[in-house]
């Protein structure tokens, strides 16, 4: 993946203190990620970037909707998501002894001038998507498309009938 420069933060030019970055994320964002489980969404991300002397504190605040399909009737759902993901970014050379055990710390080289947050945005947005299977009942005020459910039920019944051994004898009937 070639990280897009629009997600670069040129931290060398920033004063110490909190800086805010806003990102609008829609389907075009995911075109850079093969096999993304999310194909479309309408998401806003507020990134609070706190520049300290020796490290940065990042806080990604994610909210919006992702497009998912109902597991029962296949209707398209705008599923509401939100999440808050803090990350610490440290410069190489200040590695604490337990660095590898700490997943929420990212280390970058002292020679870096930019931090690209595209991959972080991708991972955090994916973490906001529910791990459980969603259907219309997960969305307030929405219910499954009854017409589609009726058709699916009908298809199920037909399939069951075909497998029903009671019908086997019918196959032997010869029509003259």
**Which residues make up the interface to Zn ion (CB under 5 A)?**
70, 72-73, 75, 135-136, 144
Shortest CB 142 distance to Zn ion, Å:
8
Contact between 88 and 55 (Cβ < 8 Å): yes
Shortest CB 69 distance to Zn ion, Å:
9
Give 5's contacts (C-beta < 8 A, 6+ positions apart): 116
Q: Which is nearer to Zn ion, 36 or 71 (CB)?
A: 71
Shortest CB 157 distance to Zn ion, Å:
19
Residue by residue, DSSP assigns 153-175 as: HHHHHHHHHHH-GGGGGGGGPPP
Q: Which is nearer to Zn ion, 71 or 126 (CB)?
A: 71
Q: What is the 3-state secondary structure (H, E, C) of 35-97?
A: CCCCCCEEEEEEEEEEECCCEEEEEEEEEEEEEEECCCCCCEEEEEEEEEEEEEEEECCCCCC
Shortest CB 76 distance to Zn ion, Å:
10
Q: Which is nearer to Zn ion, 19 or 72 (CB)?
A: 72
Shortest CB 10 distance to Zn ion, Å:
46
Of 104, 103, 105, 78, the closest CA to residue 91 belongs to: 105
Q: Cα torsion for 19, 20, 25, 30, to the nearest 10°?
A: 10
Contact between 162 and 102 (Cβ < 8 Å): no
Shortest CB 40 distance to Zn ion, Å:
18
Of 58, 48, 4, 62, the closest CA to residue 30 belongs to: 4
Q: Which is nearer to Zn ion, 75 or 126 (CB)?
A: 75
Q: Which is nearer to Zn ion, 115 or 136 (CB)?
A: 136
Q: Which is nearer to Zn ion, 118 or 135 (CB)?
A: 135
């Amino acid at each position: 993946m070639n990280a897009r420069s629009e997600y670069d933060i040129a931290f060398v030019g920033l004063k110490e203190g909190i800086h805010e970055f806003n990102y609008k994320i829609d389907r075009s964002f995911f075109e850079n990620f093969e096999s993304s489980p999310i194909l479309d969404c309408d998401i806003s991300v507020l990134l609070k970037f706190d520049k300290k002397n020796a490290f940065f504190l990042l806080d990604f605040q994610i909210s919006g909707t992702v497009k998912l399909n109902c597991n029962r009737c296949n209707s398209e759902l705008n599923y509401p998501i939100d999440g808050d993901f803090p990350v610490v970014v440290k410069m190489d050379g200040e590695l604490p002894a337990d660095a590898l055990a700490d997943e929420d710390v990212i280390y970058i080289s002292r020679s870096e001038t930019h931090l690209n947050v595209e991959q972080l945005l991708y991972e955090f947005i994916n973490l906001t998507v529910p791990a459980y299977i969603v259907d219309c009942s997960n969305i307030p005020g929405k219910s499954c498309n009854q017409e589609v459910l009726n058709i699916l039920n009908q298809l199920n019944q037909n399939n069951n009938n075909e497998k029903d051994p009671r019908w086997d004898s019918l196959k032997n009937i010869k029509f003259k």
